[in-house]
Structure 1
Amino acid sequence: MTGAVRLEPVDERNLEPLLSVAAAEAEPEDVMPPVDAPAGWSLARREAFREFHRASFGGLDGPTATAMYAIVSGGEVVGMVRMARRDEPGTVETGMWLGRSARGRGLGAAALRELLHVAAAAGMNTVVADTTPDNAGAISVLRKCGAELREQGGKTYARMCLDSALPTH
């Protein structure tokens, strides 16, 4: 079914499938912070990917104040969505990536809608994100989920208020 997803907290059980999708269907700079390692999906970069995700196993109350979720569609891990506490109370920042084969099928919007529900259940009232103005896929997902968008300084900023009704489709 197009657009049907489930979010699973990233843990040791789904970390390797997540890495497999990232290595096969995404560029390292699109799925993790920059690291000093050989280009491409070198062994060092794969280990850095694992450590980056393991650092957030503690969730919003852990040392990184970040919860990461594997996006699962059709029983397969297809990407990741995260939320991280911001300085403003009740606010988290989100970001996501999907493997190339999962793009354009409504999975990004479905995953963000699920994350908005998770954030609301965690007591958050605002979810923010930023992207580049040329990232049409991300902007489309944010619009579909009711984000207020503004451009400033070469970036597009999104704000989703969870005090109103959450998007359902």
Structure 2
Amino acid sequence: MAGAVRLEPVDERNLEPLLSVAAAEAEPSDVMPPVEAPAGWSAARREAFREFHRAHFGGFDGPTGTVMFAILLGGEVVGMIRMARRAEPGTVETGMWLGRSARGQGVGAAALRELLNVAAAHGMRTVAAETTVDNTGALGVLARCGAKLRSDGGTIHAEICLDSAPPMP
């Protein structure tokens, strides 16, 4: 992996670089909820991407209880990782996406480790995630970061306990 991975809260300053990576290196369905818009990265879908992320600018204390972070590799935005409060005390849920050029380099695991540190600093005890059985990239990242995985049909539920140190890279 070339360069250090760090997280930066998504805001107006990095929203356009994040959108640029999404549009150039990901499918809309991989990076945002479905919207009524023409297929692909239409102007309407790009604006929906902006509004989706702006809705989370309030962070943990905002209406969505979600913090979104741009993932930076060597100072360049390459993806996004989030953590959202869950109903269970001390628990957040995470999810992430990476542009195609950043995949398979250890960036996802490094970003998740950074997020685990942020979650612990906020007093969280558990980080949870859900993915599909065929998302081998996410499953590998979760396993490398010490997640306990449980299958429920086509869905994989993951939990990372923050009471113990996460595995080293």
Q: TM above 0.5, one fold?
A: yes
Cα drift, residue 166 of structure 1: 2.7
The 5 Å alignment of 1:72-151 reads: 72-151=72-151
Q: Which ranges of structure 1 fall in alignment gaps of 5 or more residues? A: none
Partner Cα distance (1:15, 1:9) in 2: 10
Partner Cα distance (1:126, 1:82) in 2: 14
**Counterpart code for 1:52:** F
Residue 61 of structure 2: SS of its match in structure 1? coil
TM-score normalised by length of structure 2: 0.98
Q: How many residues align?
A: 169
Partner Cα distance (1:73, 1:128) in 2: 24
Partner Cα distance (1:70, 1:111) in 2: 10
Residue 157 of structure 1: SS of its match in structure 2? strand
TM-score normalised by length of structure 1: 0.98
Partner Cα distance (2:89, 2:25) in 1: 35
Cα drift, residue 3 of structure 1: 7.1
**Counterpart code for 1:124:** M
- Residue 6 (structure 2) aligns with: 6
Matched-pair contact (CA < 8 Å) for 1:37–1:45: yes
Partner Cα distance (2:92, 2:45) in 1: 27
Partner Cα distance (2:147, 2:166) in 1: 11
Residues 106-128 of structure 1 show CA distances to partners (whole Å, capped at 9, x for unaligned) of: 00000000000000001110000
Matched-pair contact (CA < 8 Å) for 2:2–2:74: no
Partner Cα distance (2:154, 2:131) in 1: 9
Root-mean-square deviation (CA, aligned residues, Å) is 1.0
Matched-pair contact (CA < 8 Å) for 2:3–2:74: no
Residues 116-151 of structure 1 show CA distances to partners (whole Å, capped at 9, x for unaligned) of: 000000111000001000111000000000000010
How many percent identity over aligned positions? Answer: 78
Matched-pair contact (CA < 8 Å) for 1:3–1:105: no
Cα drift, residue 68 of structure 1: 0.2
Matched-pair contact (CA < 8 Å) for 1:10–1:69: yes
Change (3 A) 1:59 1:123: same
Cα drift, residue 167 of structure 1: 3.1
Residue 72 of structure 1: SS of its match in structure 2? strand
Q: After TM superposition, where is structure 1 displaced by more than 2 Å over at least 4 residues in a row? A: 1-4
Q: Does 1:70 align with 2:74?
A: no
Q: Does 1:18 align with 2:18?
A: yes
Cα drift, residue 165 of structure 1: 1.2
